Homo-oligomer: A and B are copies of this chain.
Amino acid sequence: MGINDLMEDFKAVDTSSLVDKVEAKLVHLLQQQKLSVGDPIPKEVELADTLGVSRTVIREALLRLRVMGLIESRKKKGAVITSPDIFGIIGKSMNPHILDQETLKGMFELRLVLEIGMADFIFQRITPEDLEELKQIVNNEPDSTQDHLFNIEHEIAFHGKLYEITGNETLKKFQKMLLPVFDYVHHSGLLKKPVNKKRFVSHKGLVDIIENGSPEMFRNAMRNHLENHFARLFD
């Protein structure tokens, strides 16, 4: 056993707390798949007894799982396994005021990536009703001559509908989470370059493409539509 192995061993000293270990064990237990959604897990006292630790530790470990959305606990009924709503959970820790600038900028960019990349799903899954609704939304928008006053409400209505059309709940939740962050970055002085309200491809233009065009055309049009945002990121 060479010195390097020894060092490896040293590195392996268990610095984790008791709760850490218990948490790991519990997560491992859930992964065994012996348990599926809705199944109850052992009571706190049982667990404490079995694992030989205090109920305090068990409670902390369970609490972590609960915050992560892996379990839900009800009085008397004990804790049951749940399918975590990931984005619901993230949403809570998604406070723009707390995130660092790098992450915030990343989120801003992420939206642009998503809206350009989702073209195929829109074309594949859009229904006639969706298309009709899109047209409605566009018709309710103010005149394009005064687009410098564009309404954030209409922006959300239109782009939100696009996410909805993709039929991807995860994507939609992601957008919902991203929205406040995007807005925050947009208005805080985080991006150096000024806002240029020049409008390129309009919402109406996008709808026309959805109706008569192809995913390829849509991607390019959306890229153009978002030019104002890209311009603030690139030179």
Enumerate chain A interface residues (CB-CB to B < 8 A). Answer: 27, 30-31, 33, 37, 59-60, 63-64, 67-70, 81, 83-84, 86, 89-90, 92-95, 97-100, 102-103, 106-107, 109-110, 112-121, 124, 166, 168-171, 174, 215-216, 219-220, 223, 230, 233-234
Contacts and interface: CB of A to CB of B under 8 A. Distances in A.
6 contacts: A30-B97, A59-B60, A67-B67, A102-B169, A106-B170, A107-B170
A115 to B, nearest CB: 7
B84 A99 contact: yes
B107 A117 contact: no
A234 to B, nearest CB: 5
Given A27-B95, A110-B171, 6 more contacts: A31-B97, A83-B98, A89-B93, A109-B170, A113-B113, A116-B219
The 6 closest A-B pairs by CB, nearest first: A117-B117, A106-B170, A113-B117, A68-B93, A116-B117, A67-B67
A223 B219 CA distance: 11
A82 B208 CA distance: 46
A35 B90 CA distance: 21
Copies in the complex: 2
A231 to B, nearest CB: 11
B118 A113 contact: yes
A84 B93 contact: yes
Contacts of A233: 124
B68 A92 contact: yes
A98 B39 CA distance: 12
Contacts of A171: 106, 109-110, 113
A83 B106 contact: no
A76 to B, nearest CB: 15
Given A83-B100, A84-B98, A169 B106 contact: yes
Contacts of A124: 233-234
